[in-house]
Amino acid sequence: MARLVVLGGGVAGHTAATFAAKWLGSEHEVVVVTPNAKWNWIPSNIWVGVGEMSKEDVTFDLAPVYQKAGINYKQAKAVSINPEGKEGSDKPFVTVEFTGQGKVGETEEVQYDYLINATGPKLNFAATPGLGDANGLGEFTVSVCTADHAVHANEEFQKTIEKMKKGERQKFLIGTGHGMCTCQGAAFEYIFNIEHELRKAGVRDMADLQWISNESFLGDFGVGGLHMKAMGFAVSSRIFAESLFAERNVEWTIGAHVNKVEKGKAHYELLDGSMGEHEFDFAMLIPPFAGVGIKAYDKAGEDITATVFAPNGFMKVDANYAAGAYENWKASDWPRTYQNPTYKNMFAAGIAFAPPHGISKPMSSPNGTPINPTPPRTGMPSGIIGKAVAHSVCDLMTKGESAHLHEASMAEMGAACVASAGKGIFTGTAAAMTIYPVVPDFEKYPGTGRDTDYTFGEIGLAGHWIKHILHHLFIYKAKLNPGWTLIPE
Ligand SMILES: Cc1cc2nc3c(=O)[nH]c(=O)nc-3n(C[C@H](O)[C@H](O)[C@H](O)COP(=O)(O)OP(=O)(O)OC[C@H]3O[C@@H](n4cnc5c(N)ncnc54)[C@H](O)[C@@H]3O)c2cc1C
């Protein structure tokens, strides 16, 4: 019997672990190490953050699901990896620290034959003074990155509505909280859901909505923008986004690195080197992401973190990390198997893998401050990669070390993204977009880098219904209800 240890029970890790448990059966063991007691469908946190859903609507307990799947669940966080074992034993292991199951603070060495690192992002609020500190989110802004954050965001949001009802004008600042953020899509959804709720509450005329983002143009979304087929034309996402912002009366500041947040004020530097500030009564600024800070040690106990992880803390995989300048970037730089190049029994999936470089063009201000989106690894690619990696590991475990590895390059993968712009059965809207491939391939698709036949977008009520149905489908699937394997990632 061999053991697969999956670190992280989020989109990528949960997908990998549940498929591996199904494919391996009882002949091998699957262990999930994750600090959270509940699974969270993160995309719906947007709706929690405006009071349209509760925390219970977007989360469920992991323990019964893992029990049903025959997965050994450790509610703990991985602290370090010893891929060569330690003195006296060649067996690789992970050191974990419990966060639940009555063992909070206790540590354990969990041995593995294969390891999948799917630990997602560290929400690095501390990168921007005032946005947060070492403990996480600061006191001046809110976040929708976790279900608890979103509950708090809604409490603060409701207070602003009360103030507006009493005649007090309110300023909203929403976007990215640093020059090197990803996840612009989440902030985009949040600002338009806020706008929608303000209209519903009858206080839209009392609110000033301000977008701030590190994108060099509206609609970049961290993928360098896209050209979408709409009404027979290939329309740039920039035109699409600018029209939406204008239509809903949302001001925008782009190419911005938020460098300091104070009570009611955010300071920023722009791509042209100028400095500015926005005042706010309510601010939701996405933090930059980093790896979760797992250390690695060799057999002698020497620190080999820099061998296993990139400087940003994400795990090195089979990517070309030496691509250099933007002009040299190629679709083939992107990883295919997500296998660690040094330790072949380790893989990374979802946000936890180190991308070779950005997708959006790198930019910096004349002061040398880098200001550009970092590459997103959204839900669909994270799930697809998690499943492909699980497939590879299962084959290695059952067929031997020469088994063929499964591939899931983001430069050959499409993704569908449905960005909510307001919730409501009859009044809701969402921008439904498909993009192929996620990472543009300018050799294969000269001009836009993407296949415009498969890259399209549409905003409307139907998009909202799709988003709502997906919410239920993905939670149904994650709970391993009957037929769960038939629902795509
Ligand atoms: C507000 C918001 C809205 C979004 N909306 C969309 C959307 O509409 N569509 C879309 O496609 N994507 C969306 N995304 C992105 C999507 O949530 C991510 O792509 C996806 O969650 C990434 O999956 P992951 O498994 O890599 O990371 P996660 O889902 O974050 O999972 C990581 C897991 O690892 C665990 N972990 C952390 N540290 C450790 C450790 N040391 N040891 C073990 N486990 C650890 C975490 O607790 C977590 O369970 C959104 C993101 C946000 C923040």
Q: How far apart are CA 153 and CA 347, in angstroms?
A: 35
Q: Which pLDDT band, with edges at 50, 70 and 90, does 167 fall under?
A: very high
Residues 6+ apart with CB under 8 A from 102: none
Ligand 1 pocket, 45 CB below 6 A? Answer: yes
Contact 15, 484 (CB under 8 A): no
Q: Which atom of ligand 1 is nearest to the CA of 351?
A: 26
Ligand 1 pocket, 11 CB below 6 A? Answer: yes
| Predicted local distance difference test score (pLDDT) of residue 447 | 85
Is the alpha carbon torsion for 96, 97, 99, 104 positive or negative? Answer: positive
User: Does residue 81 carry a pLDDT above 70?
Assistant: yes
Query: Higher pLDDT residue, 92 or 463?
Result: 92
Distances (CA, A) of 159 to 120, 194, 254, 285, 306: 32, 13, 28, 18, 46
Q: Which of 20-29, 391-400, 425-434, 466-475 has the lowest mean pLDDT?
A: 425-434
Pairing of strands 282-286, 170-176: parallel
DSSP helix/strand/coil, 487: coil
User: Does residue 372 carry a pLDDT above 90?
Assistant: yes
User: Does residue 234 carry a pLDDT above 80?
Assistant: no
The rounded Å distance from CA 13 to ligand 1 centre is 9
| Predicted local distance difference test score (pLDDT) of residue 94 | 98
The rounded Å distance from CA 447 to ligand 1 centre is 32
Ligand 1 pocket, 49 CB below 6 A? Answer: no
Query: Of 311, 183, 340, 191, which Cα lies nearest the Cα of 251?
Result: 191
Length of the chain: 489
User: Does residue 230 carry a pLDDT above 70?
Assistant: no
Ligand 1 pocket, 335 CB below 6 A? Answer: no
User: Does residue 280 carry a pLDDT above 80?
Assistant: yes
User: Does residue 478 carry a pLDDT above 70?
Assistant: yes
Mean pLDDT of 362-376: 97
| Predicted local distance difference test score (pLDDT) of residue 52 | 97
Query: Of 14, 83, 66, which Cα lies nearest the Cα of 295?
Result: 83
Q: What percent of the chain has pLDDT over 70?
A: 99
Ligand 1 pocket, 290 CB below 6 A? Answer: no
Mean pLDDT of 11-29: 97
Mean pLDDT of 329-335: 97
Which pLDDT tens digit goes with each residue over 30-72? 999 999 999 999 999 999 999 999 999 999 999 999 999 999 9
Q: Which of 89-103, 135-149, 215-229 has the lowest mean pLDDT?
A: 215-229
Q: Which pLDDT band, with edges at 50, 70 and 90, does 16 fall under?
A: very high
Is the alpha carbon torsion for 207, 208, 209, 213 positive or negative? Answer: negative
Q: In what order do the strands lie in the sheet with 282-286?
A: 251-253, 207-212, 170-176, 282-286
| Predicted local distance difference test score (pLDDT) of residue 426 | 87
Query: Of 400, 349, 382, which Cα lies nearest the Cα of 116?
Result: 349
Query: Higher pLDDT residue, 487 or 85?
Result: 85
* Burial category of 286 from C-beta neighbours within 10 Å (exposed 0-12, middle 13-18, buried 19 and up): buried
Mean pLDDT of 388-414: 96
Q: How far apart are CA 173 and CA 244, in angstroms?
A: 17
Distances (CA, A) of 369 to 255, 273, 275, 279, 450: 11, 8, 12, 22, 30
Which pLDDT tens digit goes with each residue over 303-320? 999 999 999 999 999 999
User: Does residue 401 carry a pLDDT above 80?
Assistant: yes
pTM confidence score? 0.96
Which pLDDT tens digit goes with each residue over 132-163? 988 899 999 999 999 999 999 999 999 999 99
DSSP state, residue 132: E
DSSP helix/strand/coil, 220: coil
Q: How far apart are CA 3 and CA 31, in angstroms?
A: 7
Query: Of 105, 72, 108, 73, which Cα lies nearest the Cα of 93?
Result: 108
User: Does residue 114 carry a pLDDT above 70?
Assistant: yes
Residues 6+ apart with CB under 8 A from 8: 32, 33, 34, 117, 118, 119, 120, 350, 352
Q: Which pLDDT band, with edges at 50, 70 and 90, does 448 fall under?
A: confident
Contact 228, 269 (CB under 8 A): no
Q: Which pLDDT band, with edges at 50, 70 and 90, does 416 fall under?
A: confident
Query: Of 115, 77, 114, 82, which Cα lies nearest the Cα of 97?
Result: 77
Main-chain dihedrals φ then ψ at residue 227, nearest 5 degrees? -105, 120
Query: Of 411, 358, 408, 409, which Cα lies nearest the Cα of 388?
Result: 408
Ligand 1 pocket, 9 CB below 6 A? Answer: yes
The rounded Å distance from CA 429 to ligand 1 centre is 24
Ligand 1 pocket, 377 CB below 6 A? Answer: yes
| Predicted local distance difference test score (pLDDT) of residue 357 | 97
What DSSP string runs through 259-309? EEEETTEEEEEETTS-EEEEE-SEEEEEPPEE----EEB-TT--B-HHHHB
Ligand 1 pocket, 145 CB below 6 A? Answer: yes
Mean pLDDT of 327-352: 98
What mean pLDDT value characterizes the chain?
A: 95
The rounded Å distance from CA 142 to ligand 1 centre is 18
The rounded Å distance from CA 11 to ligand 1 centre is 6
Ligand 1 pocket, 477 CB below 6 A? Answer: no
Q: Which atom of ligand 1 is nearest to the CA of 15?
A: 25
Ligand 1 pocket, 7 CB below 6 A? Answer: yes
Mean pLDDT of 347-372: 97
Mean pLDDT of 113-119: 98
Q: Which of 7, 11, 36, 66 to mutate to test the pocket of ligand 1 (most atoms within 8 A of CB)?
A: 11
Tell me which residue has tokens 């990696």: 389
| Predicted local distance difference test score (pLDDT) of residue 204 | 98
